[in-house]
Amino acid sequence: MASLRRMKTVHQSPTEPEFVQNPYPFYQAARDHGDLVYWQDYDMPAAMSHAAVQTLLRDRRFGREVPPEMATKGPDHLAPWLTVEAHSLLEAEPPRHTRLRALVLRAFTSRAIGALAPDIERLCHDLIDAFPDAPFDLLDAYCTQVPVITICRLLGVPESMAPQLLQWSHAMVAMYQASRTRETEDQAAQAAAEFSAFLNDYVSHRRSEPKDDLITRLITAEEDGEKLSRDELIATCILLLNAGHEATVHSLGNGVKTLLESGTRPDALSPDTIDMTVEEVLRFDPPLHMFTRYAYEDLEVFGNRFARGDQVALMLGAANRDPDVWTDPDKFDPTRSIQANTSFGGGLHFCVGAPLARLEMRIALPVLFHRFPGLRLAESPEYANTYHFHGLTRLLVQA
């Protein structure tokens, strides 16, 4: 355990309803105690300031992999889920991470992402054409459909699989929430096994019948004579769906909520201003609020000591509201000059899907509000009890 001599101990249950609905007052109070505090409910230090989060995201003395001498096998009932995690780019460190990321980026290129723009715009219009006249849940009808159908098309997976992929994704990602239970674990393990089996068959199909899709490109990608193993390829496809889907769904939903509640003018969604608005949406109410790291050596940062193997929580949502970086940070201001926020992480683990998420938001938000300038909330939105994710349970609107 890190030395807590200089850290202020703070208490806040991550499942308390009031906190789940609005964690930002707690972040502000904790940040007032310094760059790092000891969050007793998580039994670990937490970086609350923008400076601390950005520094630790880039400090190579911290990483995602558990130090080898501290690694444990994990419970047998979680074996399928743990197998996917073991081969995930998100959980790797150099040199394994360097190799995996290079291979993924050879397939997941900016050109391939940019080429999706016309299809994404058509998809948005098609979804909007099907909106009912009565109040409806925009999360189900739009915010979820845009990213999951886009990922299906990108991977080359049949769009008819989208509901099943969402079910697997929700079950697996639930493992990261504070309210996790044994039932959560059993469902995640089953989802991981079924998802992996589906992709294993699909990869075999693509090997014999290659097409112009991401799975085929991942199969053929090569770096210094090495290719992705079957387990790595499957884990990468799962990661792209799970992380990309969760982040963009929450970003779109939180963004629409914020735009409607703030009464933001339509000119904030013009071609000249949309980039600023998207970055402000991501800063103001990001989809992921916590990312953890392990210390790889005994060290001192921000006046606090860490021992090898100590964990630290990087509070992305808190960093994005730091008044040392942003004037009036609790105000949504789409005219705010773009500065680096932490919503997609940073350093070696900066989200590989961030360009796609931003592209989807740059298209989906203007199309929605152009088609329905009078869109309004039909009831007050509520956030799901899924901390450390931060997304709505539903978004009931009247078009």
Give me the domain span that covers residue 281: 8-398
Give the pLDDT confidence score for residue 286 in this predicted structure: 96
Q: Which pTM was predicted?
A: 0.93
Average pLDDT over residues 246-252: 90
Alpha carbon 235 to chain centroid distance?
16
Within a domain: 3: no
> Do the domain assignments include residue 86?
yes
What pLDDT is recorded for position 254? 97
Q: Is residue 147 one of the residues assigned to a domain?
A: yes
Q: How far apart are CA 362 and CA 301, in angstroms?
A: 37
pLDDT at 4: 45
Residue with tokens 């680096």: 340
- Residue 252 inside a domain? The answer is yes
Q: State how far the Cα of 90 lies from the Cα of 63, in Å rounded to an integer.
A: 10
Q: Report the C-alpha gap between 239 and 212 in whole angstroms.
A: 20
Q: Is residue 2 part of a domain?
A: no
* Residue type present at position 59: D
Mean pLDDT of the chain, nearest integer: 93
CA 319 to the chain's CA centroid: 16
Q: How far is CA 33 from CA 6, 44, 127, 175, in A?
A: 10, 15, 47, 30
The pLDDT tens digits of the residues spanning 313-347 come to: 999 999 999 999 999 999 999 999 988 899 999 99
Query: Does 29 fall in a domain?
Result: yes
pLDDT digits (tens, 9 = 90+) for 14-54: 999 999 999 999 999 999 999 999 999 999 999 999 999 99
3 state SS of 292: strand
pLDDT of residue 241: 84
Domain count, the chain: 1
Question: What does the radius of gyration of the chain's CA atoms come to, in whole angstroms?
Answer: 21
CATH number, domain with residue 393: 1.10.630.10
| pLDDT above 80: residue 222 | no
Rounded Cα gap, residues 53 and 346, in angstroms: 9
Quote the Cα angle for 88-93-99, to 5°: 75
Res. 1 pLDDT band, cuts 50 70 90:
very low
Tens of pLDDT, residues 343-371: 999 999 999 889 999 999 999 999 999 99
- Which pLDDT tens digit goes with each residue over 63-86? 999 999 998 888 999 999 999 999
pLDDT digits (tens, 9 = 90+) for 251-304: 999 999 999 999 998 899 999 999 999 999 999 999 999 999 999 999 999 999
Q: What is the pLDDT of residue 247?
A: 85
Residue with tokens 């884990």: 235
Rounded CA gap, 368 and 256, in Å?
Answer: 9
User: Residue 64 and residue 361: Cα distance in Å, rounded?
Assistant: 28
User: Within a domain: residue 115?
Assistant: yes
pLDDT digits (tens, 9 = 90+) for 305-315: 999 999 999 99
The pair of structure tokens assigned to 169 is 């994704």
